[in-house]
Structure 1
C-alpha cells in the first residue's frame, strides 16, 4: 500500500497513532509525508482539505478506538463531496462480540458518511479492495470510502502477504474520474428550450465546481444573456466581477441574487443539488419557475420537479450544448436589470468595505483579503458567519484562485487549510476562521510548526458566536447578561500569545489600515502566521432576500 500511494503521486497522508506504523515509516522513506495530527477530526479535516484542492483522495488513518471519531469527521467530506480513503484498525474476529476493550461495531458508524465501508480480513484482499476504494472515491460525485483493516492497528493486514509484487498506479484516477457525455436527443431538446424567449437564469452548484466548468458555463451564459448565480461551494467558479455573475444564491446570499433568481421564468440548474441552503429553504427560485437540469449524479436528477433533466458531466454537456444554441441575438433586458441590481448593491456596501471603524467591520477585512489574495491563492473558510462573510464579500478571479468552504462542520477550516497547503505546493493558502471555530482545533498549531506547514490563519475575533448574537439578545429581553453567558467568550484570550506558545508568530490587528500589511507579512512567511483581527460582534453580514409570505 505504501508503494502504491507513492507510485500514485500522493504527497501526504494524515493519521492519529497508533495505526499502520510500519506502513507509515515505509511511506516516509518513499517520500510520502505522514502528518500526525492531534485528533481524528483534525487528521480527517486535513485529508479533506488536501482532497478538495488536489482532486486526489485524501488518506487518513486511525486505530480501532478512534474509529468513531474518524467516522464523525467524515460528515463534512460527505456533504462537501470530497474524495477520501479512511483507514481504521479493528480488533480481530476472535475478539468481536466479547466485550473487547474499547471496541464497537464500525460498520454502522461509517454507513451514513461513506459511499462504501468494507472490512479487509486478509492481506490478499487489500490490493483489490484498495483499488475499488480509490475508484469509488473519485467517481462523480466524489465521496469518502472506508476500509476497516483486520487488527487493532491494522497489523494483521500489514504482516500478511498480498500476493502482489508490483505496486498499483492510480495517478490518473482523480476526481471526477469519469465525464459522461450527454444523450444527444435530450441535449438538442435542452438547446431548444433554452433558446426560447423569456427571463432565463442559471444556478450552478457544487457539482459544477467539481466539474471545473467555469469557462464553458460563461460561454453558454453569454450566448443566452443569462445571469448566473452559484452555490457557496461554487463561489470561485466564475470571476466575481463578470457582468453576468450575480453571486451566491440561497441562505448565505447577498440580497440581489435571490431576488433576481425569483424573477426568472426559466432556470437552468447545473450541478446543483437544490438543498435548503442554496434555495433559501426551497423558496428560490419561485414555484412557477420552469427548471431545466444538468447533473452527473443520477440521484440529483428530478429531486425537484424539472421540465427536462440531462445526466452528464456539466463541463462535457455545456461544451456540447454551446454550438447548438445558435447565434441569434437574445433580449438582454433581464440580464441588464440584474446587472443594475448588483451595481446598486455594490454601491450600497462600499462604505463598509472601506470602513475605518474600530472594532473592525468584517466587511473591511473581506475587502483586504480580496485585495491581497494572490492570483493563484487559496482561501479556506469555515461555516456559519465565516461562510457568509467570505461568500458574499470576497472577490475571486475565476481562474487561478480557489475557495474551499466547510460544508457545515464548525472548526473545519483551520486543519483543512493545513491539508490544502500540503497539496498546494508554493501557492499561498489563507484560512478565514472565527474565534469560536478556531477553538475547536487550536492544537493543530503545533502540527503546523512541527511539520513546517505555512498558511496565513486569519482569526475574525469578535469574542463570541456572532451569527446568532442579535436573535439571542432579543430573546433575552431585559436580561442581556443571559445572552452573554450563552454566546460570548472571555476577553482575555490572546491568539497571538497562543501562537507564540507553539513557536509561531502572531500579528494582532486593531485598526483597519493594519489589515493589508499584516496579511502581506503573514503570506511572505515560510511558517504559519496567526493574524488576529479584532472585530465587533454587532457587525452584521449581508442578509439574504426572501419572497414575502402571502397571508
Structure 2
C-alpha cells in the first residue's frame, strides 16, 4: 500500500473546494487581518496548521507580529499575559478541533479572571458542520464546546458578518466585563471574497456610567461612616487615582485582591494588603460599618483561600461593578452601582465635596491598618519570610519589574506578603481557575507587551514541566524573560496538603530534570543560586544580556542560607 508523504494531506480535497479563485480578491481571512490592525492589534499568537493557513494570507504584509508557541495552551497564556499588562485583548489564531481543546484551559483561566482574549479559529466547511462524517479535527459542535468559556462564541457563516462580529467582540473588551470571545470561521468562508465589506473599525461605546441616584445613596452612606473600608479588585485597575483619592478622603483602609495589587502604593498607610483570608484582617472587615467593594467578585480565591467559609461583611455594603449579575453574587449589596469603576469612584468623591468632612473613629484608618499588618506579620513562619526574601530580592534588583507567577509556594506567599509598586506588576494563575503551567508563556506575553520593563516568571519545578518547551518560543520571539524556578523536587504544596490530612503522599514526588541543561539546550542562559546576593547578581546579569535566562533556586538550599 502506498501512503502519502504527509498524512495530513488527506484533507486537501476539502481545502481545494474552498481554495480562492484565480480572480484577484480580498479573502475573508485577509479582511480579518486588516480589521484587527484597525483595532490596534500588535500580536497574534498561534500555530499554523492545514486548517488555518488561509488566516495567515494577510499577516506577512501587515503590521501584526506573529508569535509561534509550542502548544496552543501556551498561545492562550501568552495572550493572557499580554492582556494583563496592556489592558488590551490578546489575540490567537487556533486550528480546528485539537487546537481549540488545547487552548481551553487558557481560555478558562482568562474567563475566571476577566481577561480580554480574542480566539479566532477555523472550523470545517459549512456543509460539513455537525455531519459526524469523521472529517479532520471534527467536533459535533465546536462553538457549543466553548460557549461556556467565553462572553460569546460565534460561527461566521458569511464574510459580510465579519465587521459586526468583531465590533461586538471589541465592545466586550472595551465597554463591558472583559472575557474571552471565540469566533470560528468555516474553511470555505475563510477563502470567500470579502471585497465589499468595510475594513474600518467600529466606534466603540463607552463603559456604562453609574446612575446619579445610586452614587448619591452611596455617598450618603459613606459620609456617615465612622469605620469605612474599601475592598478593591481587578475591575478597578483603571481607577487607581480615583481609588486613592476616595480612600484618603474617607481615611478608609483598603484591601486589594491579587489582581488589584499596586492600586495603592506599597507603603501607603491605608493599605491593608491582600490578607482578606487571614483572621486579623477578617476581624477588621467585620468591624467596618460601611464597606465599599469595587470591581471585585468577593470570591473564594481572594477572600477564602483557607476554605473555611470565615469571611463575612457585617456593615452596610456598597458594590460597584460593570457586571449587573456580579453585583448580586456572593454578597448582596445595600447599594448596587452598575458602572465603570473610574467614573463611579470619581462621582462619589464629587458628591462628598458637598458634605461636611468625614469624621472617623480615632483608632480607625491608618492606625488600625498598622495594627492589623503588625498582627498578621507575627504569624508568618520562617519559610514564609525566606520566600518573601526571594521576592524582595527580585524587586530590589530589577527596577519596575513585572512578576508573573504560577501556582507555586513563593507565589502563594507573595500573594499575602508582597505589595506591588504599581498596577499590572504582579499577577499569577493561583486565583480564579488556578492552573499550573501558566507562568512561563504568560511571562512571554507580558514581556512582548512591555519590552522596556524586566519581566520575571516565578514558577515551581512541577509547573514549569507543564510548559517547558515555551523556552524555545521565548528565544525565537526575542523575549528576554527571566525564569526563576523554585525547585522543591515535586509538587511540594500538595505533598504538604496530603500529609496534613494523614494521607500517604502518592504521585507528588515526581522525577525532576536538569533544568540548567535543558534551558541551555533551548538556547537560554542558565544558572543556579542559593542566596539573595547571588540571585541579585544573576538577575542583573540576565537583564544586561537581553536574552531568556533560567535561574534555578533549590528550596532546601535557599532555606538553609537565608535562615542561617
Q: TM (normalized to structure 1)?
A: 0.87
**Structure-2 separation of matches of 1:420 and 1:334:** 38
Q: Report the equivalent of 1:115.
A: 151
**Residue 250 of structure 1 contacts residue 278 of structure 1 at CA under 8 Å; is this kept in 2?**
yes
**Residue 465 of structure 1 contacts residue 487 of structure 1 at CA under 8 Å; is this kept in 2?**
yes
**Structure-1 separation of matches of 2:500 and 2:63:** 56
Q: How far apart are 1:382 and its partner, in Å?
A: 1.6
**Structure-1 separation of matches of 2:133 and 2:502:** 48
Q: Does 1:363 align with 2:402?
A: no
Consecutive unaligned residues of structure 1, counting only runs of 5 or more, are: 356-360, 540-551
Distance 1:122 1:197, change over 3 A: closer
Distance 1:249 1:313, change over 3 A: farther
Q: Does 1:374 align with 2:374?
A: no
Q: 1:217 aligns with which of 243, 260, 265?
A: 243
Q: Return 324-333 or 439-448, whichever deviates more.
A: 324-333
**Structure-1 separation of matches of 2:34 and 2:374:** 54
Q: How far apart are 1:257 and its partner, in Å?
A: 2.9
Q: 1:50 aligns with which of 82, 101, 105?
A: 82
**Residue 232 of structure 2 contacts residue 294 of structure 2 at CA under 8 Å; is this kept in 1?**
yes
Q: Does 1:321 align with 2:348?
A: yes
**Residue 294 of structure 1 contacts residue 310 of structure 1 at CA under 8 Å; is this kept in 2?**
yes
| 1:421-449 deviation digits (Å, cap 9, x = unpaired) | 12113222111111111111000011111
**Structure-2 separation of matches of 1:204 and 1:299:** 18
Distance 1:474 1:344, change over 3 A: closer
Q: Report the equivalent of 2:28.
A: none
Q: 2:234 aligns with which of 206, 209, 225?
A: 206
| 1:398-426 deviation digits (Å, cap 9, x = unpaired) | 36x62222242211121111111121132
Q: Report the equivalent of 2:480.
A: 454
Q: Report the equivalent of 1:179.
A: 207
Q: 1:445-524 counterparts in 2 under 5 A?
A: 445-476=471-502, 482-483=504-505, 485-490=506-511, 493-524=513-544
Q: Report the equivalent of 1:267.
A: 291
**Residue 124 of structure 1 contacts residue 161 of structure 1 at CA under 8 Å; is this kept in 2?**
no
Q: How far apart are 1:511 and its partner, in Å?
A: 2.7
Instruction: Please tell me the root mean square deviation across aligned C-alpha atoms, in Å.
Output: 2.5
**Structure-1 separation of matches of 2:116 and 2:482:** 25
**Structure-1 separation of matches of 2:59 and 2:301:** 40
Q: 1:176-255 counterparts in 2 under 5 A?
A: 178-209=206-237, 212-251=238-277
Q: Report the equivalent of 2:73.
A: 41
Q: Report the equivalent of 2:42.
A: 11
Q: Does 1:333 align with 2:360?
A: no
**Structure-1 separation of matches of 2:155 and 2:33:** 19
| 1:458-479 deviation digits (Å, cap 9, x = unpaired) | 11111122223323224457xx
**Structure-1 separation of matches of 2:66 and 2:320:** 39
**Residue 285 of structure 2 contacts residue 313 of structure 2 at CA under 8 Å; is this kept in 1?**
no
- Deviating beyond 6 angstroms after TM superposition, the runs of 4 or more aligned structure 1 residues are 350-353
Q: Does 1:526 align with 2:561?
A: no
Q: Report the equivalent of 1:91.
A: 124
Q: TM (normalized to structure 2)?
A: 0.85
**Residue 530 of structure 2 contacts residue 558 of structure 2 at CA under 8 Å; is this kept in 1?**
no
Consecutive unaligned residues of structure 2, counting only runs of 5 or more, are: 1-31, 560-564
**Residue 163 of structure 2 contacts residue 201 of structure 2 at CA under 8 Å; is this kept in 1?**
no
Q: Report the equivalent of 2:179.
A: 143
Q: Return 366-375 or 222-231, whichever deviates more.
A: 366-375
Q: How many residues align?
A: 513
Distance 1:133 1:533, change over 3 A: same
Q: Report the equivalent of 1:71.
A: 104
